[in-house]
Structure 1
């Protein structure tokens, strides 16, 4: 079983929850009178741990531990993905839910933050077993999710099919079709065009805006991408289309380096067909740790949290770090990057494109009126650029790092809502 909720009051500084708490501590001096409410940000509103038993194909009974955490609902219903991974813990889900709270506020969406997960390796399950796990988990957390209370979405190892099963299970249990209970669904079940590529597109848009302000030309700029799923691959593709060279790629199958720049359409097609980049004809296979030594102008950590450590921060040659993953940079590494003059676009704005288009999907489901992909991308770009402009101005005003500026903007919005709503009863 996971450690109790109370054990996370004083977590390790490098753990996901410890990293989040450190980020909140850094923003408190910029909250003024709202700082009296800051403890609100340090405690999840609700944390649910559920048992997920299923009968496996061989007739045995297996039990998996599932979580759904609602961090803050002051600005609206909870919003956040569900991940299936053997290393999922309550603490990780708590941190991810908190980052969702900040992320939604940073781009001014009418959501609070939530997150879910099951400690399971989906790769060892059959399709039948995966469906059973998904449906049982959905039934267990059905107590707290809903179109107006908490809306899950895909995350690590989950996808549109998982969302379809979740939507159907919730709908069966409530007696009516509720397409708005999840986002990231298949298009014909109320999904939105542009959703699959939205997070990677947001990474590119914020990266483009940051590069422009720091005088970094994308034409010929070298890009290194860790994680080659929907986020990393799409961001890499868009940077390549803008004239940059993707010179290093790492995923769970290994690391490839190609100084001349990869043929992105070919690499993406190969990865999708083979379940990873290992064996691709271009580039040199190198040790995974060597990824952090590749000469590059733009580094995109788009895998899991805690990857950019202090030691790796000292080694990178990047001028711009774009956090495609949630929480990829530990606090000590943040300080090292700042001291080296390396600009970091933090996860809570950099990868907010996914939740923004999830918001579009939710709105479209309620109205039963759907936009074209061009309309989706235009709306996404406008929101992301506007949010980045506001955060950049906050950073310039207070002479603070972009992460602290993002938290200052987001936490102010969250705590104003908390203060104006008051405490009940």
Structure 2
């Protein structure tokens, strides 16, 4: 099941639990706008290359649309649509005044030079600048993009509209980015995990963690979990996987990964098959890489009590059913990885106010928002007698549906 079908299925289940009007249900599912543009740039060798860029603006009932821009060779309309829809429910679950959007360019950023990436970003911005904006649609970094990408978008957009730091989030701090933004998604994963474990009389300390992915989210989650007393026993990335039952030295692993562009060759543990990582026995499993990695083919072999979805859509619906029967609790992505978009909201607020927060305030506010969102989700679980995923989806969908009706949907 592809990401769009799975996301739509979860939405429809939530709509059924909420007894939504069928016409309203259909309206909420259809994107507000889909944008597809051709981006032609001169390569460094003088040849021309064309890439296809996408921006799906899903919903703006609760505020400006919000979502990342990813550069990846597998970017395609269905994936972008699914992720834009997920952003709509995610911002509503976090209860921040945004809608949902997602974008991307079908390219392999690793094969492009810095100057080629800059030209590509600027051309893409030129094509969509009149369809994004501070109170319209606010992009952010995603897979294959970073703070530098956002700086280019900010600069190009400002050529048309005047200096507008709030048009993107995830910017360099020197251009109005928020302190604490780099660690935000990983820190949000920590706070969400703490909330879930606390429900069962446990804490981070003493728990064994396995993390798939050692990019921004996975590496920060690993560092923060270790600082809180958790034991990260296995980690993988695109280069390989490493395991140490006594706990990996995350600080050394971060250094090794930075120096060697991956965790392969790290001597602080035993190399294992990356494909077996998800089935390593642990207390908490954190998929923090790509979507669809937990599916019907491996769900029966997963040996954990809790899954924290730090990646977008890592668990297929078929796997959801299998794991649920096994008693595995899954904290869904639209809550678990919402720390990034929450701090993006803080950044946007700081830009609009022209007043910068210190990092302690950012982190304290993030904990407040994550903990409150978890409590709101649990309340929906009790009200509708459903699991955590449907608790989160009913929470998000209900907030968007109410905003849509209040704004005059039937007018």
Structure-2 residue corresponding to 1:69: 56
Structure-2 residue corresponding to 1:380: 366
Aligned pairs for 1:164-313 (under 5 A) are: 164-174=151-161, 176-313=162-299
Structure-2 residue corresponding to 1:15: 2
Structure-2 residue corresponding to 1:6: none
**How far did residue 239 of structure 1 move?**
1.3
Q: Tell me which stretches of 4 or more aligned residues in structure 1 moved more than 6 Å.
A: none
CA distance in 1 between counterparts of 2:354 and 2:203 reads 42
Which secondary structure does the structure 2 equivalent of 1:381 belong to? helix
Structure-1 residue corresponding to 2:100: 113
**How far did residue 34 of structure 1 move?**
4.9
CA distance in 1 between counterparts of 2:410 and 2:46 reads 49
CA distance in 2 between counterparts of 1:33 and 1:146 reads 31
Measured against aligned partners, the alpha-carbon deviations of 1:341-392 in whole angstroms (never above 9, x if no partner) come to 1110000000000000000000100111010000000001001101101111
Structure-1 residue corresponding to 2:150: 163
User: Quick check: 150-159 or 254-263, which moved more?
Assistant: 254-263
Query: Would the aligned equivalents of 2:209 and 2:286 in 1 still touch at CA under 8 Å?
Result: yes
Structure-2 residue corresponding to 1:7: none
Aligned pairs for 1:47-62 (under 5 A) are: 47-62=34-49
CA distance in 2 between counterparts of 1:41 and 1:279 reads 48
Calculate the TM-score normalised by the size of structure 2.
0.98
* 1:343 corresponds to 2:329: yes
**How far did residue 424 of structure 1 move?**
7.8
Compared with structure 1, are the counterparts of its residues 36 and 231 closer, same or farther at alpha carbon in structure 2 (3 Å cutoff)? same
Structure-2 residue corresponding to 1:4: none
User: Quick check: 252-261 or 161-170, which moved more?
Assistant: 252-261
Structure-2 residue corresponding to 1:399: 385
Structure-1 residue corresponding to 2:12: 25
Gaps of 5+ in 2: none
Please, which of 124, 131, 142 is the counterpart of residue 129 of structure 2?
A: 142
Aligned pairs for 1:116-127 (under 5 A) are: 116-127=103-114
CA distance in 1 between counterparts of 2:409 and 2:9 reads 26
Please, which of 292, 302, 317 is the counterpart of residue 316 of structure 1?
A: 302
Structure-2 residue corresponding to 1:89: 76
Gaps of 5+ in 1: 1-13
Structure-2 residue corresponding to 1:367: 353
Measured against aligned partners, the alpha-carbon deviations of 1:381-418 in whole angstroms (never above 9, x if no partner) come to 00110110111122123221101011111111100111
CA distance in 2 between counterparts of 1:285 and 1:375 reads 40
* 1:354 corresponds to 2:340: yes
Query: Would the aligned equivalents of 1:226 and 1:251 in 2 still touch at CA under 8 Å?
Result: yes
CA distance in 2 between counterparts of 1:59 and 1:404 reads 52
Measured against aligned partners, the alpha-carbon deviations of 1:303-342 in whole angstroms (never above 9, x if no partner) come to 1111111222211111010000111111011111111111
User: Quick check: 111-120 or 30-39, which moved more?
Assistant: 30-39
**How far did residue 289 of structure 1 move?**
1.5
Which secondary structure does the structure 1 equivalent of 2:297 belong to? helix
Query: Would the aligned equivalents of 1:102 and 1:407 in 2 still touch at CA under 8 Å?
Result: yes
CA distance in 2 between counterparts of 1:109 and 1:260 reads 40
CA distance in 2 between counterparts of 1:253 and 1:350 reads 25
Structure-2 residue corresponding to 1:5: none
**How far did residue 235 of structure 1 move?**
1.0
CA distance in 2 between counterparts of 1:226 and 1:336 reads 20
* RMSD over equivalenced CA pairs, Å: 1.2
CA distance in 2 between counterparts of 1:180 and 1:217 reads 37
CA distance in 1 between counterparts of 2:124 and 2:261 reads 26
Query: Would the aligned equivalents of 1:199 and 1:231 in 2 still touch at CA under 8 Å?
Result: yes
Query: Would the aligned equivalents of 2:15 and 2:397 in 1 still touch at CA under 8 Å?
Result: no
CA distance in 1 between counterparts of 2:319 and 2:223 reads 27
CA distance in 1 between counterparts of 2:202 and 2:317 reads 25
